[in-house]
Structure 1
Amino acid sequence: MKHTYKVTGMTCGNCKASVEKALNNIEHVTSASVDLEKAEVEVKMSQHISIEKLQEELPEKFSILEIEKQQRNVFSTVANKEEKTDLQKLKPLFIIFAYIIIASILLHYKNWNWSDFMLDFMGLFYIVFSFFKILDLKGFPESFKMYDPLAKVFPAYAKIYPFIEIVLGLMFLMRFQIFTALIVTIIVLGITTIGVIKTLLNKQEIQCACLGTVLKLPMTKATFIENTIMIIMAIIMLYKTYN
């Protein structure tokens, strides 16, 4: 017999391997295969195994739920709790954004200049966000590939992406080759934003890799907004500088 379950808590390839290993070690399970993008696992078993038994054998960070049961509870209080949890998980993102904005303002509050403010904001944005990605260079590519179109086609791109952000950050802060940095920003974040929009439209529940995998942030409209802000700033700077 074959059953499909929803599994929450999976963020990368290591999580996938951990879930498959735990379920395959259960007696009477003939095979367990995880679909990371759908956050689902297909379990084939020689005889029925209760959902409680499956949950018991999984590491604590993962939760397993029958698809049918999850659908029945979509509009239940459980769904409301998950929504609140998602908002709470975005708190680190809002705090980091606030710090970057405040730091950029303080750098120029005596001699205010919008262009310098935006360049420093973009530079600090890249440096800070790349820091969190570098904290887990193994897990980040797996999470990033789940929604970035270019990373899906060229996995090596996901591996070097944090370093691309570092270089762009330094270019903005040092005022080096600004035109090139602006163009690359529009292209790189434009591609990522396409993937974010597709994920949001498909209502996929996956982790956002904007702050790496250390901070568990859900993919939400906030991810779209942060990318859009950077793209708009880059376009404005191109217009002001070269027109």
Structure 2
Amino acid sequence: MTHTYKITGMTCGSCKASVEKSLSSIDNVTNVEVNLEKGEAEVTMSSHVATETLKEALPEKYTLSEKKEKNVFVSSSMSAMPMGEEKSKLQQLKPLLLIIFYIASASTLLHYKNWSWSAFMLDFMGLFYIVFSFFKMLDLKGFPESFKMYDPLAKKVPAYGWVYPFIETALGLMFLMRFEVEIALIVTLVVLGITTVGVTKTLLDKKSIRCACLGTALKLPMTEATFIENAIMIVMAVLTLTNIL
């Protein structure tokens, strides 16, 4: 018999290997196949193994739950996402929304006495890069694995995933210090443009993966919010570059 379970907490290939090894060590489990992108594990058993037994075998970093199968006899109007699940999705995005709110507030307070949209956008982009690169720096080993799951360039050039947090840090400092702003804006358009292509494809394919925008420290799902945050930065970069030129 084969059962499918949802696994949360996996961010990279080593996580996948760890889950497979832990579940395979359980008596009566004959085969384990983990799909990192879907966050699922197919467990084949010679005889039934309780879900609690599977949970206990995994390291604390991971959580396991039974995958609920869709009832094909339920009408489309009844199959909409329950309010509880929607709230859970918003709760997962809460750290991202709070960070963007604080960055926007700080950028506003810096210029409220002598308002300038150009200065506001430069400081917003600078703080955005500094804060987001900080979270990526917390797990420099895990970030590249998560990042290459949706960024086209990181998939083809693994080294790009390793240097990306440092690129963000450099761009953040350039914006805040007003150093070679034109170059920073052009690099921003290129870097975020590439990432946005990957994010858009992931959303259109309806893949369930983790967003690496805040590294692996926070468990953020890949949602439309990731596309929106990239779009905001791209629009700001275009507007600022237009004003400069």
Question: Structure 1: how far apart are the matches of 2:46 and 2:97?
Answer: 48
Percent identity at matched positions? 66
Aligned counterpart, 1:232: 235
Question: Structure 1: how far apart are the matches of 2:19 and 2:82?
Answer: 23
Aligned counterpart, 1:54: 54
Match of 1:184 among 183, 187, 212: 187
Contact 2:147–2:154 (CA under 8 A) maintained in structure 1: yes
Q: Name stretches of at least 5 consecutive residues in structure 1 with no aligned partner.
A: none
Aligned counterpart, 2:28: 28
Q: SS at the partner of 1:235?
A: helix
Letter in 1 for 2:141: K
Distance 1:9 1:70, change over 3 A: farther
Letter in 1 for 2:63: F
Letter in 1 for 2:70: Q
Aligned counterpart, 2:6: 6
Aligned counterpart, 1:70: 69
Confirm whether residue 165 of structure 1 aligns to residue 164 of structure 2: no
Question: Structure 1: how far apart are the matches of 2:171 and 2:202?
Answer: 26
Superposed, 1:91-130 pairs within 5 Å as 91-130=94-133
Confirm whether residue 205 of structure 1 aligns to residue 218 of structure 2: no
Count residues with an aligned counterpart: 240
Point out the more displaced range, 159-168 or 195-204.
195-204
Question: Structure 1: how far apart are the matches of 2:105 and 2:2?
Answer: 54
Contact 1:7–1:41 (CA under 8 A) maintained in structure 2: yes
Q: Name stretches of at least 5 consecutive residues in structure 2 with no aligned partner.
A: none
C-alpha offsets along residues 11-49 of structure 1, whole Å, 9 cap, x if unaligned? Answer: 333431221111110123333232201222233444454
Point out the more displaced range, 73-82 or 114-123.
73-82
Contact 1:133–1:210 (CA under 8 A) maintained in structure 2: yes
Residue 121 (structure 1) shift = 0.9
Question: Structure 1: how far apart are the matches of 2:98 and 2:51?
Answer: 38
Residue 122 (structure 1) shift = 0.6
Question: Structure 2: how far apart are the matches of 1:154 and 1:43?
Answer: 33
Residue 139 (structure 1) shift = 1.6
Residue 81 (structure 1) shift = 2.7
Contact 2:127–2:172 (CA under 8 A) maintained in structure 1: yes
Distance 1:29 1:196, change over 3 A: same
Contact 2:5–2:64 (CA under 8 A) maintained in structure 1: no
Q: SS at the partner of 1:37?
A: coil
Q: What TM-score do the two structures reach when normalised by structure 2?
A: 0.88
C-alpha offsets along residues 184-237 of structure 1, whole Å, 9 cap, x if unaligned? Answer: 101111111111111212222221111111111111111111100000011111
Point out the more displaced range, 17-26 or 71-80.
71-80
Letter in 2 for 1:103: A
Point out the more displaced range, 51-60 or 230-239.
51-60
Question: Structure 1: how far apart are the matches of 2:56 and 2:112?
Answer: 56
Query: Could you say what the CA RMSD is over the residues aligned between the two structures, in angstroms?
Result: 2.4
Distance 1:225 1:103, change over 3 A: same
Contact 1:126–1:165 (CA under 8 A) maintained in structure 2: yes
Letter in 1 for 2:220: L
Question: Structure 2: how far apart are the matches of 1:48 and 1:166?
Answer: 51
